[in-house]
Amino acid sequence: MTLTETLLLIPVIAIVGIILGILFKGIDRILAARMQARVGPPLIQPWLDVKKLLMKENIVPKNAVKWLFNLMPIAALAASITLLFYIPLFGFPALLEGQGDLILVLYLLTIPSLALVLGGFASGSVYAAIGAQREMVTMLGYEFPLAIIVVGIAWLLSNINPVWKAFSLAVISANPVWGLVGPVGFLGLAILFIVLLAVMPAELSKIPFDSAEAETEISGGVLAEYSGRNLALFYLADAVKTIAMSALVVAIFLPWNISALVQIDASAAILANALFFILKLFIVMFVGSTFVRVSIPRLRITQIVKVYWGYATMAAAFGLLLIAVDFLAVIP
């Protein structure tokens, strides 16, 4: 792909990511309402929310560090959109792919959360400061099992074929990990997959892991002082990050294209793969976000740390051990 084509595709991917993220937010709210026996908002409600916020006054607290307070929503949205350039989307390779793009993606995933933390501290609000502290602790909690998952997948690929770039999402999505292991390794991968789905709501600050934004406790926490355009940017960043996180799960564990399973012509294959990708995104979003937040009440920050540093980390380590045992068992 030429530089010109890449530059032209960057705004296209950004716009598609925002539209798809807002659409999935609407679907998420409808499904959550139906599961709770409510009518719920219309599908276009997230669009209306963003439009309303963009029209409202952008209020900056008197005691805030103004430049940092206003910069953090932009940084969060920019990082969320940048994520989409490094993850395979709609059955196509990533726009910007490289040898270690999985590591880069993990770093980019932390930027929106760090933006929330810095924005909360910069606001000068006590409630926001408490929320920022909780957000930092939550990040420290889920990053450990997430790192184990990434290392486990890379270790498996590097041992199967030393030539492969083990931390490349292009390599991972082109070589589905499920077919590289035996029964014991398959169980280990299944555990890593479940742990990654468990990390997803905390990465997206969704219930039950949204203690940093607990409205009933700390009045919105890190977002307590945000309004107008700034709050709209954080809202859009969350929508795009949801797409990016779901696409990352798909790229690692569900990378198949429908065209590889059924015989269809090339033009139809492009559309079929894109629709199949959206379906996989929807399933991952529902299981990893909607179902969890409807089924489980908000956890205390101490419980969140216990879940990730305790159960999730031990489960991920056990899954990695099963993969290692499976691999070593086939070595003559």
pLDDT of 127 higher than 50: yes
- Please check whether residue 212 is in contact with residue 206, taking contact to mean a CB–CB distance below 8 angstroms: no
The residues facing 92 across adjacent strands are 89
* Average pLDDT of every residue of the chain: 86
Residue whose entry in the numeric block shows the structure tokens 């899954």: 319
Structure tokens at 46: 């997230």
pLDDT at residue 136, as a whole number: 86
> 3-class SS at 92?
strand
Structure tokens at 28: 């998420």
pLDDT of 260 higher than 80: no
Structure tokens at 34: 């139906």
Cα–Cα distance measured from residue 216 to residue 206, given in angstroms and rounded to the nearest whole number: 15
Q: Per-residue pLDDT tens for 151-193?
A: 889 888 888 887 778 888 888 888 888 888 888 889 999 999 9
pLDDT at residue 331, as a whole number: 52
Q: Per-residue pLDDT tens for 3-33?
A: 787 788 889 999 999 999 999 999 988 998 8
Structure tokens at 38: 């409510």
pLDDT of 208 higher than 50: yes
Structure tokens at 296: 């489980």
pLDDT of 85 higher than 50: yes
Calculate the alpha carbon distances from 270 to 95, 97, 171, 265, 294 in Å: 16, 20, 20, 9, 35
